[in-house]
Amino acid sequence: MNKINLKEKFSLFDDYWHPRIIGKLNGQLVKIAKFKGSFEMHKHDHEDELFQVIKGQIQIKFEDRMETLDEGEMIVVPKGVLHQPSAAEEAWVVMFEPASTVNTGEKENSELTQENLEWI
C-alpha cells in the first residue's frame, strides 16, 4: 500500500507497446505502456479494457469510427469490440484490465504479444 509516481514509473523504460504492471486490485491489473506508431486491430473476447492518457495523445480506431484521446481523457472498450490504438508521437497510457487479458487479444501469436509482464 504505497503511493505510485507515474512519471517515475514511465521513466524506467523506453520501448513501445510493452505494458508493465504497477498495481493489482480485485482481479484487475493496472498497467502502463508507452504508445507510438500503430498497434494491431484486435479484440478481447472476454475482457473490457480501459485506456487513460497521461501524456500525449492517442487514437483508437473502431470498425465504425475513430476516437482521439488527449491527456486526462479515458475510454472503456467493451469486450468483443475490435479496436486499434495508435499514437503519432510518444504517449503515456495507463490501462486497467483483468489479469487474464493478453495485449493482442485473440491474436496471441503476434510479434507484439507480451506475456509474463514485469512489475515495475
Task: Of 79, 35, 80, give the one whose Cα is nearest residue 60.
Answer: 35
Quote the CA–CA distance of 3 and 107 in Å, as a whole number.
34
Nine-digit cell string for 43: 479484440
In angstroms, what is the C-alpha Rg of the chain? Answer: 13
Q: Which residue has the cell 523506453?
A: 14
pTM: 0.88
Could you give the angle at the alpha carbon of 18 between the alpha carbons of 14 and 20, nearest 5°?
A: 90
* Domain segments of the chain as ranges: 30-104
Architecture of domain 30-104: Sandwich (2.60)
Mean pLDDT, rounded, for 37-42: 93
- 98 confidence band (pLDDT: 50, 70, 90): confident
Question: In the structure, what pLDDT confidence band is assigned to residue 118 with cuts at 50, 70 and 90?
Answer: confident
- How far does Cα 78 stand from its chain's mean position? 14
